[in-house]
Structures are given as C-alpha cells and as structure tokens.
Amino acid sequence: MELNGLLLFSKLGTPSELRGPVERRQQLEVLARETRDFFVVRDKQGRVEYANPAAREHFHLDERGEGPFLMPLLTPAELADLNEPVSARCSQPGQGGEMRHYDTTVLPYWTVDGRRNGTLLLAHDVSHETEQSLALKSVSARLADLL
C-alpha cells in the first residue's frame, strides 16, 4: 500500500539522514499532522493513544484521540494481538451517507525489550479510485452487451 504520508516521508530523508532525535521528532510530527491519511496508535488494551488530525476529524475523536467507544475504527485487526502486519480493504458510510473505501494496514509494535505494546493503523481513502473502477466495469459490461 502506498500512502501519501509515506511518500512525503521519503522527501524528508531516510532516518539515517535525519540530524538527530529532536529534528526527527519534528519531521514526524509534521508528517502525521499534514497527511490526509489516517494514523492511529492503540495501546495493548485497545485504547487509542494517538490519532493524527485527519483521523481525529474523520472518526470524531477528541484531541487525545479518545472517542465515545472502544471498538475498531475501520477493521477488527486494530484490536487483535498481532505478530505481523495485516492489510485489508475496508468500507464504511461517510459523513454524508455515501460509502467510503479504505486501504488499511495494521501493524503490531513492540517496546525496545520485545514486549507487545499495541497496534498502529494506517489507512488511505481509495473511494475515488474504487468508484472509477466500478464505473469502468459498468461501461465494459454495457459495451459487451451491445457487441
């Protein structure tokens, strides 16, 4: 999955090119703040520890990333005890009632001493691409019927 935020990160430089922890943290904060992709960190109990502004806005979370419920935002994998990344296409109604489609990846993360610490959700809205693909299939089917 190719996320806009990951493309932006490549413009910032690789971690070895970053000058130090303070600069690295500032650049990662800019990345998380400016991307329109969703970035959500959960602790091992499933509570949201951090959600970037795009995720907070979309899922109606407060500044701390907390919402009125402890449930998956897009995929049940967010609350799973993962050992490896899980990628999936998810759909849910948008704010206007239209169906929205997302490419998601849920990654487990661990502490430096190897204990599981929670999950990281990355999600990219692919609704426009999905709608174009469905429209193309529809046109292709009509053309096949005409022929």
Asked whether residue 1 carries a pLDDT value surpassing 50, the answer given is: no
Residue 9: per-residue pLDDT: 47
Residue 36: per-residue pLDDT: 87
Confidence of residue 6 (pLDDT cuts 50, 70, 90): very low
Asked whether residue 116 carries a pLDDT value surpassing 50, the answer given is: yes
Asked whether residue 17 carries a pLDDT value surpassing 80, the answer given is: no
Confidence of residue 112 (pLDDT cuts 50, 70, 90): confident
- CA–CA dist 128, 64 (Å, integer): 30
Describe the strand order of the beta sheet including 116-125 as a list of residue ranges.
48-51, 38-43, 116-125, 99-110, 86-93
Average pLDDT for 133-139? 74
Average pLDDT for 103-125? 90
pLDDT digits (tens, 9 = 90+) for 21-53: 788 888 888 888 888 899 999 988 888 888 999
71: left (phi over 0), alpha (psi -120 to 50) or beta: beta
Q: What's the pTM?
A: 0.69
Residue 69: per-residue pLDDT: 57
Asked whether residue 111 carries a pLDDT value surpassing 60, the answer given is: yes
